[in-house]
Amino acid sequence: MIMFPFLDRVVRSMNKNDLCISLQDIVDARKIIENQIIRTPIIASPILENLTNMELYFKAEVFQKIGSFKLRGVLNKLHHLSEKEKRRGIITASAGNHAQSLAYASSQLGIKTVVVMPKYAAKNKVIATKKYGAEVVKLENTKTIVEKVYKIKEERNLTMVHPFDDPLIIAGQGTIGLEILEDSPRVPDNVIVPVGGGGLISGIAAAIKQSNPTVKIIGVEPFGADAMNQSLIKGTVVSLSEINTIADGLAAPFAGKYTLAHVKKFVDKIVLVSDEEILDAMRLLAEKVKIVTEPAGAAGFAALLADKIQVSREDFTVCVLSGGNVDTNLLKKVLE
C-alpha cells in the first residue's frame, strides 16, 4: 500500500532520530490555535462515578467547534502551510470529523479543499463537509483510498493534509492534554483516550507524559478496527484488510509511523471494545450525563464500563469524549 506523501517540513524541535514531538511543540500549537477553538470543559458525573466505582471526569471535546477535537490539529497544520501551498489547494482522506474540520477551517482562509471519503462515512458528516465548501469524492472501494488520494493530489498539484500522521496535527491535538492537566481538580491517575489513526492519543500522551510521567495513558480501539493494537503487536505499521465497526471515527485503515512512535513511547496500554459496548456507553452518557456522543467519542467510557481497564476507587480518571457528530438514525436506535 502507498502511504501518504506528506510532511514537507518537520517540526523544528524534533530530533532526527526521534519521531515524537516535544512539549514545546504543543505549547507553540496552543499559542497558534487558542483564540480559534473552545476550551472544552471537564465534567463530573456523580451517577456514573457510583456506577463505575471510581472518581471519574469527562473531557467534553464534543462541545468543540464542529463537534470534534479534529479542529485543533487542522488549525495548527494550516497555520504552517506556505502561501504557495494554500494557493494550490489541499486534499485529505477522512471518514468525517477531520473532513468537516478541514473544510470549515480552510473555508475561513479561502483555501480550496478536496476530501476523499469512504463509503461507510456517516451521511451527516458528508453533508456537513460539503456545506463547508469542500469537494467530496466518495469511494466505494475503501482499500484503494490512499492510492486515490495520491492520484488526485498529483493530478491537481494539491497539498496533503494528513488526518493524523503529521507532527503538526499531533501537536494541535496535544493541546487537549495541556487542558486536562490544567483544568482537572487534581492530577489524573489515568487518562482514557479513543484511538483511530492515533493522532489524538499521540498528542494527549505527549503533552501529559512530558509534563507528568506518572499519569497512565490508556487507549481504546474497536475490535473491528484495531490497526494501532496490531501495529504494536507486530512492531511496525499495519494496514487492515477489513474494517468492521460502528465507530466510523475510529475506522482508520492503518496506524501511522509518527503515531505508532508516540504510542510506543508515551502510551501505557491499548484495550479493545465491541460495538455493543460502545452503544451501551453512548446510551448511558446520554441518559445520565446528558451528553450525546458519536460512537468514537464514547469508546473510552465503553472500556471503563465494560471493565476493560482496571482502576482503583482512589484513582482519579479522566475520559476523553472526542466527538459528538452522531448520525440521527443511529442516535434514535441507541436511545430506543
Question: Is the predicted pLDDT of residue 16 greater than 80, yes or no?
Answer: no
Q: Which of 22, 59, 70, 153 is catalytic?
A: 70
**pLDDT score, position 142:** 66
Report how far residue 254's alpha carbon sits from residue 36's, in angstroms, rounded to the nearest whole number: 30
Half-sphere exposure of 221 (CA within 13 A, CB side): 27
Domain membership of residue 176 (yes or no) is yes
Higher pLDDT: 5 or 63? It is 63
- The predicted pLDDT at position 203 comes to 98
Query: Quick one: average pLDDT of 24-48?
Result: 97
| Mean pLDDT across the chain | 91
- 209 counts as catalytic: no
| Claim to verify: residue 130 and residue 193 sit in the same structural domain | no
pLDDT for position 17: 61
CA distance 227 to 88: 32
* Band of residue 10 on the pLDDT scale cut at 50, 70, 90: very low
pLDDT of residue 144 exceeding 90, the answer is no
The answer to whether residue 327 sits within a structural domain is yes
Asked whether residue 87 falls in the same domain as residue 65, the answer is no
**Predicted confidence (pLDDT) at residue 177 exceeds the cutoff of 90:** yes
Q: What is the mean pLDDT of residues 204-220?
A: 98
318 pLDDT band, cuts 50/70/90, is very high
Q: What pLDDT was estimated at residue 96?
A: 85
Whether residue 19 is predicted with pLDDT greater than 60 in this model: the reply is yes
| 121 vs 24 pLDDT, higher one | 24
Which of 108-112, 205-209, 312-316 has the weakest average pLDDT?
312-316
Range 92-114 average pLDDT: 94
Query: pLDDT tens digit string along 75-102?
Result: 999 999 999 999 999 999 998 899 999 9
* Predicted local distance difference test score (pLDDT) of residue 120: 77
State residue 334's pLDDT score. 85
Handedness of CA 94, 10, 64, 42 (dihedral sign): positive
70: enclosing H helix or E strand: helix 70-79
Provide the pLDDT for residue 140. 74
Residue 91's CATH number? 3.40.50.1100
- Domain residues for the domain of 89 are 71-160
Q: Which residues pair with 57 in a beta bridge?
A: 44, 318
Check whether 250 has a pLDDT greater than 50. Answer: yes
Model confidence band, residue 2 (pLDDT cutoffs 50, 70, 90): very low
Last residue of a domain, one of 125, 143, 160: 160
Same domain as 108, residue 188: no
Q: Are 46 and 175 found together in one domain?
A: yes
The answer to whether 94 is a known catalytic residue is no
Pairwise CA distance, residues 87 & 191, whole Å: 40
pLDDT for residue 327: 86
CA–CA gap between residue 107 and residue 308 (Å, rounded):
41
Residue 248 has pLDDT above 60, yes or no: yes
Q: Which of 145, 160, 175 is the C-terminal boundary of a domain?
A: 160
The owner of cell 463537534 is 67
**pLDDT above 80 (res 332):** yes
Q: Which three three-digit cell numbers place residue 173?
A: 491535538
Closest CA relative to residue 113, chosen from 63, 77, 62: 77
Residue 84 sits in the same domain as residue 98: yes
Out of 160, 175, 205, pick the residue that ends a domain. Answer: 160
99 lies in the same domain as 154: yes
pLDDT higher for 243 or 58?
Answer: 58
How many domains is the chain partitioned into structurally?
2
Categorize the per-residue pLDDT at 14 as very low, low, confident or very high, splitting at 50, 70 and 90. Answer: very low
Cβ 272 vs Cβ 229: under 8 Å:
yes
In a domain, 86, yes or no: yes
Q: What pLDDT is attached to residue 211?
A: 97
Asked whether residue 149 falls in the same domain as residue 275, the answer is no
